[in-house]
Amino acid sequence: MTTTDTAAASDSSPTALEEAVTSTDPNTLSRVWGLGGMTSVLLGAVAGLLVGFERLDLASADVFSSADEVFQFWSAHRVALVLLGVLPALMGLATTVVPRQCGGSLLFPRAAALACWTWLIGAGMTIAGFLADGGLGTPGGAGQRQATALTLMGLLLVIGGLLLASVCVMTTIVSGRAAGTGLRDLPFTAWTTLVAATVWTGMLPVLAANAVLAYVDLRGRPAIRYGAEDAIWEQLSWMFTHPAIYVLALPALGIALDVLARATGVTQSNRDVLLVATAAFGFLSFGAFAQTFFDTPGTPIREEALSVVAAFAIVPVALAILGGVADTLRRGASNLGSKPPADAVVALLAVLLVVVGTVVGAVHVIAPLELLGTAVEGANFTLVVGAAVLGVGAGFHHWGDDIVGPGARPGLFLLGGLALALGVVLSGVTDLISGLLDQNDFTGVTLAAAGHPESGVDALNLVSMVGSLAAVAGLVVWMIAGTLHMVTARKDAA
DSSP-derived secondary structure for 142-180: -S-HHHHHHHHHHHHHHHHHHHHHHHHHHHHHHHSSPTT
Alpha-helix residue ranges (DSSP H) falling in 132-289: 145-175, 188-218, 229-236, 246-264, 271-283
Please give the pLDDT value at position 303. 75
> CA–CA separation, 107 vs 47, rounded Å?
37
Please give the pLDDT value at position 9. 45
CB 213 within 8 Å of CB 254 = no
- Which residues have C-beta within 8 Å of that of residue 239, sequence separation ≥ 6? 82, 83, 203, 207, 245, 287
Q: What share of the chain is helix, strand, coil (3-state, %, to 5)?
A: 75, 0, 25
What predicted TM-score, i.e. pTM, was given to this entire model? 0.93
Q: Which residues of the chain fall below pLDDT 50? A: 1, 3-4, 6-10
> CA–CA separation, 307 vs 311, rounded Å?
6
> CA–CA separation, 271 vs 324, rounded Å?
8
Domain membership of residue 44 as a residue range: 23-288+298-493
466 assigned to some structural domain: yes
Please give the pLDDT value at position 430. 93
- Which residues have C-beta within 8 Å of that of residue 50, sequence separation ≥ 6? 63, 64, 73
Q: Is the peptide bond before 297 cis (omega within 30 degrees of 0)?
A: no
> CA–CA separation, 61 vs 51, rounded Å?
10
Please give the pLDDT value at position 214. 92
For residue 211, which phi and psi values (nearest 5 degrees)?
Answer: -65, -40
Please give the pLDDT value at position 53. 86
Measured CA distances, 154 to 83, 136, 165, 270, 276 (Å): 11, 11, 17, 43, 36
Domain count, the chain: 1
168 assigned to some structural domain: yes
CB 356 within 8 Å of CB 422 = no
Measured CA distances, 321 to 150, 279, 398 (Å): 41, 11, 20
Q: What is the DSSP string of 402-442?
A: HHT-S---HHHHHHHHHHHHHHHHHHHHHHHHHHHTTPBPS
3-state class (DSSP) for residue 299: strand
Angle of helix 109-131 relative to helix 145-175, nearest 10 degrees, comes to 160
Beta bridge partners of 299: 296
Domain of residue 235, CATH code: 1.20.210.10
> CA–CA separation, 474 vs 464, rounded Å?
15
**Hey, what's the torsion of the CAs at 102, 106, 112, 117, to 10 degrees?**
90
Angle of helix 410-436 relative to helix 458-493, nearest 10 degrees, comes to 160
Q: Is the peptide bond before 222 cis (omega within 30 degrees of 0)?
A: yes
2 assigned to some structural domain: no
CB 311 within 8 Å of CB 361 = yes
17 assigned to some structural domain: no
183 assigned to some structural domain: yes
Alpha-helix residue ranges (DSSP H) falling in 55-144: 67-81, 87-102, 109-131
**Amino acid (1-letter code) at residue 163:** L
476 assigned to some structural domain: yes
Picking from 119, 169, 38, 120, the residue whose alpha carbon sits closest to that of residue 472 is: 38
> CA–CA separation, 97 vs 120, rounded Å?
20
Q: In this structure, how many other beta carbons lie within 10 angstroms of the beta carbon of residue 15? A: 8
> CA–CA separation, 77 vs 478, rounded Å?
19
DSSP assigned state of 1: -
